[in-house]
Amino acid sequence: MQRAVFHGEGRINIEDVPTPQPGPAELLVRVHACALCGSDRGSWERGNSVTPGHETAGTVVSAGPGTSTATGNRGAVFLVAYCGRCAMCRADSRGACLDKQGMIGFDRDGGFAEYVIVPERCFLPVHPDLPLDAATLLLDATGTAMHALRRAGALDVAPRSALVMGAGPVGLGCVLALRAAGVSRVLAVDIAPYRLEFAGRLGATPIPGGDGAVDTVRSTLPEGPPLVIEASGNPAAQRQALDMLAPGGTLVVVGHSRAPLELWASRDLIQQEKTILGSEYFDPCEFDANQRLVLDGTLRPTDLITHRLPLEEIEHAYRLFWAGETGKVLIYPGELEG
């Protein structure tokens, strides 16, 4: 089979390697498509000994001993090889497993190859009427977004307005999710004109990022939005997100950051009774509900796709992606499909 090999410094080669065979409790999946993600930056810059790609959907072609999944079944790949025993797994938060056995596409071979080995428990069956492109987008982009809304209770009672800080792929997924949840007014903040324009096409009011963003938001919503989803991972933007939030509101942080976020407990939280929630990857038990939203037309994840490219063009795909002028980019290791 062919796979993409990340050598670092932006060099990616396509190499022929033996097709792997599934072991006990494993499936061999023929990859339909795998999406690019900002968290691939480390593999792009420093290389990776395994095949990246963690937003994958495809079809089972072989099953190892001890499995019950039939060949020909279609599904999406849950990237976290979760333990199933820790406190988070027991609480149906397996995306935040505390004792991960691996991360597909990070320390286990992922989807930028014609075939990928998947633990059976990480294979999420896809409804026969759901296109595999849509299933791919139900992972990081809208799966993460829908989980954030569930954490905030926004799927039970939609807020009157909401703001998304950062209009990268996950942020754009949050815009889609908020609109699907029935939020009538969604604001999106970013520094990239292309991403702001994209957010506008998805139904958000675009707000240019930077030093004046808080004042602009407050001039639009004087009390501030009751729900803010922080998807940029930028500490300065995270601080702004908290300042934009309405008193009594909820800030959901989904953008990972290596830098600290400074806040004052009295001023920022207690006196205004604001809530800050962390939200990681979604849980497999949420996948079916998200599929139903796509099937009934409420959620349209494929609206996020701007580019579809074959595996041999993956290096070019990443250069487009890093330039900040794409939505979701799908790579097709086999025959490129629409």
Give the model confidence (pLDDT) of 237-295 as tens digits: 999 999 999 999 999 999 998 899 889 999 999 999 999 999 999 999 999 999 999 99
Same domain, 120 and 203: no
Same domain, 150 and 262: yes
Percent of the chain residues past pLDDT 70, beyond the cut: 99
Mean pLDDT of the chain: 96
Ranges 8-12, 77-81, 160-164, 323-327: which has the least confidence: 323-327
Kindly report, residue by residue over 26-79, the tens digit of the pLDDT.
Answer: 999 999 999 999 999 999 999 999 999 999 999 999 999 999 999 999 999 999
Same domain, 250 and 313: no
Does pLDDT of 336 surpass 70? no
Q: How far is CA 305 from CA 154, 190, 287, 290, 299, in A?
A: 25, 19, 20, 18, 14
- Domain with 32 in it: 2-125+300-332
Same domain, 166 and 270: yes
**What's the whole-model pTM score?**
0.94
CATH of residue 146's domain is 3.40.50.720
Same domain, 115 and 158: no
Same domain, 250 and 304: no
pLDDT of amino acid 290: 97
Same domain, 89 and 168: no
Same domain, 80 and 177: no
pLDDT of amino acid 327: 95
pLDDT of amino acid 334: 81
Same domain, 155 and 259: yes
Does pLDDT of 306 surpass 50? yes
Interatomic CA distance for residues 328 and 312, integer angstroms = 18
SS3 254: coil
How many distinct structural domains can be found in the chain?
2
Q: Does 292 fall in a domain?
A: no
pLDDT of amino acid 337: 52
Q: Does 30 fall in a domain?
A: yes
Q: Provide mean pLDDT across the span 203-232.
A: 96
SS (H, E, C) 41-65: HHHHHHCCCCCCCCCEEEEEEEECC
Token pair in block for residue 318: 């990443």
pLDDT of amino acid 161: 97
Same domain, 108 and 147: no
Q: Which residue is listed with tokens 């959901």?
A: 252
Question: Dihedral (C-alpha) 152, 157, 159, 165: value to the nearest 10 degrees?
Answer: 30
Q: Does 284 fall in a domain?
A: no
Same domain, 252 and 313: no
Q: Could you tell me the pLDDT band of residue 338, with boundaries at 50, 70 and 90?
A: very low
Q: Does 220 fall in a domain?
A: yes
DSSP 8-state code for residue 181: T
CATH of residue 101's domain is 3.90.180.10
pLDDT of amino acid 258: 86
Q: Does 131 fall in a domain?
A: no
Q: Does 135 fall in a domain?
A: no
Q: Which residue has the higher pLDDT, 338 or 236?
A: 236
Q: Does 286 fall in a domain?
A: no
Q: Provide mean pLDDT across the span 123-146.
A: 97
Q: Does 130 fall in a domain?
A: no
Same domain, 151 and 267: yes
Q: Provide mean pLDDT across the span 183-200.
A: 96
